[in-house]
Amino acid sequence: MISNFRKNKSDSGTENIKSLNLPKHIAIIMDGNGRWAKKRNLPRIAGHKAGVEALRDVIKTCSNIGISYLTLFAFSTENWKRPTQEVNALMELLVIYLRKEVSELHRNDVIIKVIGDISKLPETAITEINKATEMTSNNSGLTVNIALNYGGRSEILLGVEKIAKKILNNELKLQDINESVFSNFLYTKGIPDPDLIIRTSGELRISNFLIWQAAYSELWFTDIYWPDFKGKHLIKAIKDYQKRKRRFGGI
């Protein structure tokens, strides 16, 4: 279980992080669970279970140092292509995680939100998601966005569809559409674009994750498999981010 987030700050080196120029929003592609398990001659689901342990430490670290938003790529629209047994195990793990952790997250003022089309998830998963988001909705600390059945392209297409319906119903004029308006038709409405996107496991791509929102995100890649990724690695990524100059197309 996640204990008091404010204890043992030195464990992750958070006492050395600069409070200025912190990324407001960090997004993580949690990759490498299967390879972590294979390396140890374990079933893939063992890697996913180990990944939950990494998640605890990362959430705790983000909360400690004052990150406002953490978005986690948990299950993509493409992940349905995986073996049925693995998909079912992942859904069961999601339910177990929420049941076990939501009360502690709530006590630590964490807000849980979900982005993606959860209607296609099992009913038990939808129930636990709704309980978690409702329980934490009035909190004011770290917002954890869990991307479930999420894909960047499908998100954009859905946004276009919503805008088209508004135009057809004379609720929106074509000339009024701009980037800001379009962003309001995405799952991430009201959430700032990620400042920093992290991907574990050595893969060097964003894999259909927040492709609209990532236009000016700083990218940080590591060879570490997700189950081995800890708060100290997150701090390393943030320190690297703080050395960069973000010009957004300017000089």
**Per-residue pLDDT tens over the stretch 74-84:** 999 999 999 99
pLDDT value, residue 249: 75
Q: Say whether pLDDT at 89 is over 60.
A: yes
Question: Which sequence spans correspond to the domains of the chain?
Answer: 22-152+193-243
Tokens 């990759």: give the residue: 31
DSSP string, 83-126: -HHHHHHHHHHHHHHHHHHHHHHHHTT-EEEEES-GGGS-HHHH
238-242 average pLDDT score = 96
How far, in Å, are 52, 114, 173, 239 from residue 232 at the CA level? 16, 26, 49, 11
Q: Say whether pLDDT at 250 is over 80.
A: no
146-168 average pLDDT score = 98
Domain 22-152+193-243, architecture per CATH: 3-Layer(aba) Sandwich (3.40)
Choosing from 16, 21, 31, 109, which is the catalytic residue?
Answer: 31
Burial group, residue 7, by CB count within 10 angstroms (0-12, 13-18, 19+): exposed
Q: Say whether pLDDT at 93 is over 80.
A: yes
Which phi-psi region, left, alpha or beta, contains residue 80 (left: φ > 0; alpha: ψ -120 to 50)?
alpha
Confidence of residue 2 (pLDDT cuts 50, 70, 90): very low
Q: Say whether pLDDT at 237 is over 80.
A: yes
Q: What Rg value do the Cα atoms of the chain yield, rounded?
A: 18
Tokens 């943030």: give the residue: 238
Q: Say whether pLDDT at 109 is over 90.
A: yes
Pick the range with the lowest mean pLDDT from 9-13, 15-19, 172-176: 9-13
pLDDT value, residue 20: 73
pLDDT value, residue 144: 98
What spatial distance separates the first Cα and last Cα of the chain, rounded to whole Å?
47
69 beta partners: 25, 143
Residues 6+ apart with CB under 8 A from 233: 222, 224
Which amino acid belongs to residue 242?
A: Q
Tokens 């770290």: give the residue: 142
pLDDT value, residue 214: 98
Q: Say whether pLDDT at 238 is over 80.
A: yes
pTM of the model: 0.93
pLDDT value, residue 13: 59
152-181 average pLDDT score = 97
Helices and strands (H and E) in the chain: how many? 7, 6
145-163 average pLDDT score = 98
Choosing from 79, 139, 208, 228, which is the catalytic residue?
Answer: 79
Give, as one character, the DSSP assignment of residue 143. Answer: E
Based on the residue annotation, tell me whether 31 is a catalytic residue of this protein: yes
Q: Say whether pLDDT at 134 is over 50.
A: yes
> In whole numbers, what is the pLDDT of the chain averaged over residues?
93
pLDDT value, residue 232: 96
Cα 48 from Cα 92, distance rounded (Å): 11
46-64 average pLDDT score = 96
pLDDT value, residue 8: 52
